[in-house]
Structure 1
């Protein structure tokens, strides 16, 4: 009898244990353990406060372009934004209107030309200005012309041909760019760089990875210098290479940066696909739902802990393609509670992707490619859809505020954009894409007139390819940002790498993080709303610098939150700081956290 009692007691104890575990996981799945986190702290700026990039009225840089040269105009489309973002005050002149070169009042000059024949009557003036201490940059691959022959020795060129050479990779000198040591393959390289050799006394900062052809170098000339860029890539993804080259002109260059790394998970939480995925079944022998909850999401949480990430999840209520008024509510919410609250518990944030995955477009919107989407019936229907998904989300996560909007497929019509700005004041940030694409709503890091922060994503997917790696490196050096998005169903789509398998894709993603956070461990891990706040501060910042023999003086106006500067030191190094905190990124690059309006930094010669 005692034996039976003991046996029953053991079974009852095991039963209670299982009941307890079941209740625990049920509560966890419903999010009962979630309490509002520290990311609810109010920002230093108003939710829709407009801040504008402003530069000094006194122009310090002359930019010469030529509207008769198509490549010059292509380059200028990107370079104007580079100079604005770096707060370089410049005067632009078009050589096609007749060139009167008055250089004496400028510290730097940029000649955005591939054909230098317009400088024929100005060679002596240009050479004399640089020899006397001026700094000139030629950022475009040059054509060999008689004027080029006359200037080539001043540019540090020892010999050159007439043909362009192929650029398939870029090898960067140690310390030139943050995260830039090593060789970076070029996707779809072509004959873009003039074949040439430079003198041994030139400083080479970038070269073709296989041939060693110089791509970026500087050549001293008298008391001044020439900075030459011989790459021939004028796309948005390469802006950071040109900003880095520009910083070589001055003994000390200072410009504002954002300092933030954000990781978005689009379509998450959302209805989990039913059934089996071909490659999930191949590798794990389980349904999509079980794979998400028992393999993929636990791995994502481990990765989050390993690299200190703060996920921003973007909610989809349903995948039904209704685009009218009177939308049905999704009642299947079990997975929302579990996945969404785990994001919040771990210090992340939830934003809005859409009621469904139909972009906010009316039938007047012209897609550049057929994406298979339905148009919304009216403006009122778009308002109704956003109202519904916000209500649905607030019911699930009553403490969350849903400030971030990500357009489905990164497509957003002017009418949809106007709806967000006028009808939903709680939306303070739109995160679409940085790089242009067919039908894409591509953005700059800026504050729109309606006060919404434009906070574009730079790279996508778990498998960061060569082109995205170049773009990531570029933006790390222009804005000191990393912004990436993935989808859970990337693992189901062969076009997004599903056939490679999750283990391979996970390895590719962690290899990217190893490079990023190994190169710049000081970059801030932010949520989408925190990135919005960082962009507001970045846009509000105005700078003045005065480098003297022993001290660098910086005045920073508009500082209300954490403000950050990038400093390039081409002569000497930096030491003790008053009014800020200095982090050395490379031998010549520093990241400065601004704590006071007036900053003093000792210079070491």
Structure 2
């Protein structure tokens, strides 16, 4: 009888253990995990915004103001002026666009950006010399034409000798105009420029040179002020806004401007059904079929990368790779639920986010040219787009109840106005769209600026992509960090087996290239905060909606933020010695650059002269 009793007790204990194990497994898939992640995604209710200054108080403060001199009849001048204005808008600096030939603005600005290369166009703008002599600062933002007007002016730019134009693709940074890269050299065909060979006097400070030591960006004192000269045409391109921001940092001493301070990493097409079958490279190196390779090699390696380099992945989910653009969108028959359970759970466990790529990989477009370019089927109307996204929501809900889908990544980074209108209706929890930052000469991609759209969705473009990282990728990355304080990169699982994106390289080679890139980012920009796209959206909303102003005073500055809804970050570019702060934290990130965290709508920084 005692033996039977013991056996019964063992059976009961075993049953209880199995029930507890089942409950724990179910909890790992349930909304309990979602709540644990969701409570910290930065998209919940935020503190009510506070203003530091009433309108009358704001009017009494001298705010930095710049003039952008532009030639309305010159296309290149217009391009340079546009990029200048975009950088200044991101910095929250006041500026005024003034056509060449205008009289001097009153009151005098804190800086002038000249966007014309033909200096004869400055006739009627002779006030520039007097303005600089009295202490003003002028940035010539494009290489000057070597003509009579330039010959009459070049001595004031501390130029001793003028040579010929030279072509080069080499850029050397002597100072940190691009943060993290003082002393760095970039060589890439994408950086091809024409520069005017000049010899400078001993009073100039060269910040950037090109080719065989040709000055590209230098500062030349003149009277009580200075001319800053950019001897090339790179500043007309969006991708070089960080270089433009660095040049403005030379133009405006002790420059301070707001940044997002975020590090983002996306995995597009994940979770999603993995390719079936085998691939020669994977079979050669691992003797595995593709599903097993992605499960046993690729994904564990990606987790190791995230843990080692302080990353949070934002996945972009796909239900099926079918190409239907008409109903039914039946996820129960189309989806690989086990893939979402396994990879979705582990993605969230690692602090990541599940975003939306699409029910399938057909871009949300009703434009035939776009669909044809990518080999996609064109959606008949917005109704079918909406139905497909609602089916995707049901799919996610079946595995992760009540999980909010906050991020949308367009397939192939393409999205037209019809598709854009559908998103907010079909995805009610949507807070951001993450597409591309770089310009697209084919005009097919959904190219974004960092901004808040009229419908309240944050535009959060990605900057670099892929496992094979080249010099131009590093250049783009450094420019984005310098201009906006953001690192944003994306990859696809199947890049590994794609002949173009993977370049027929082994997974080990691709992994090593990506890891070296992430090590570089961690080494140069360890101050960036790892975030998911949803988390960064909450931070970006505060960054975009606030209105900071700064009051200069002997020995420091006072900061005032209208629309303050939580801590905000700024980059301060100065060689001064910080001695005291109030209601903010200041961290030196490199020589001449500080990261400022403002914890209150009114804060101050005190400094002494250069140490």
With the length of structure 2 as denominator, give the TM-score of the two structures.
0.89
- Aligned residue for 1:342, secondary structure, equals helix
Aligned to 2:529: 524
CA shift for structure 1 position 235: 1.4
Does structure 2 conserve the Cα–Cα contact (< 8 Å) formed by 1:491 and 1:502?
yes
State which of 406, 420, 426 in structure 1 corresponds to 2:423.
Answer: 420
| Mapping of residues 366-515 of structure 1, within 5 Å | 366-367=369-370, 370-437=373-440, 438=442, 439-515=444-520
Structure 1 unaligned residues grouped into runs of 5+: 1-15
Question: Which shows bigger deviation, 414-423 or 173-182?
Answer: 173-182
Aligned to 1:12: none
- Aligned residue for 2:373, secondary structure, equals coil
Count of paired positions = 574
State which of 117, 129, 132 in structure 1 corresponds to 2:131.
Answer: 129
CA shift for structure 1 position 94: 2.0
| Per-residue Cα deviation, 1:247-295 (whole angstroms, up to 9, x for no partner) | 1122211111111011010100000110012321232221111111111
- Aligned residue for 2:419, secondary structure, equals helix
Matched, 1:289 2:294: no
In structure 2, relative to structure 1, the CA distance for the partners of 1:567 and 1:294 (3 Å cut) is same
- Aligned residue for 2:125, secondary structure, equals helix
| Per-residue Cα deviation, 1:326-368 (whole angstroms, up to 9, x for no partner) | 2121343112111111010111111111000001112x44329
Whole-angstrom CA distance in 1 between matches of 2:26 and 2:227: 62
| Mapping of residues 524-563 of structure 1, within 5 Å | 524-563=529-568
Question: Which shows bigger deviation, 262-271 or 538-547?
Answer: 538-547
- Aligned residue for 2:181, secondary structure, equals coil
With the length of structure 1 as denominator, give the TM-score of the two structures.
0.90
Whole-angstrom CA distance in 1 between matches of 2:42 and 2:193: 49
In structure 2, relative to structure 1, the CA distance for the partners of 1:511 and 1:304 (3 Å cut) is same
Aligned to 1:589: 593
CA shift for structure 1 position 416: 0.4
Aligned to 2:3: none
Whole-angstrom CA distance in 2 between matches of 1:264 and 1:423: 22
| Per-residue Cα deviation, 1:541-600 (whole angstroms, up to 9, x for no partner) | 212212222222111222212311111115x23222111111112211111011011111
Aligned to 2:336: 332
Does structure 2 conserve the Cα–Cα contact (< 8 Å) formed by 1:312 and 1:528?
yes
State which of 232, 235, 238 in structure 1 corresponds to 2:237.
Answer: 235
Matched, 1:150 2:155: no
CA shift for structure 1 position 505: 1.1
- Aligned residue for 2:578, secondary structure, equals strand
Does structure 2 conserve the Cα–Cα contact (< 8 Å) formed by 1:260 and 1:524?
yes
CA shift for structure 1 position 168: 1.0
Does structure 2 conserve the Cα–Cα contact (< 8 Å) formed by 1:30 and 1:334?
no
Question: Which shows bigger deviation, 394-403 or 168-177?
Answer: 168-177
| Per-residue Cα deviation, 1:166-189 (whole angstroms, up to 9, x for no partner) | 231221124333221311223334
Structure 2 unaligned residues grouped into runs of 5+: 1-13
Matched, 1:94 2:99: yes
| Per-residue Cα deviation, 1:416-442 (whole angstroms, up to 9, x for no partner) | 001113443211110011112231001
CA shift for structure 1 position 160: 1.4
CA shift for structure 1 position 122: 3.4
| Per-residue Cα deviation, 1:73-104 (whole angstroms, up to 9, x for no partner) | 12223222111111121111122xx4333465
Does structure 2 conserve the Cα–Cα contact (< 8 Å) formed by 1:28 and 1:338?
no
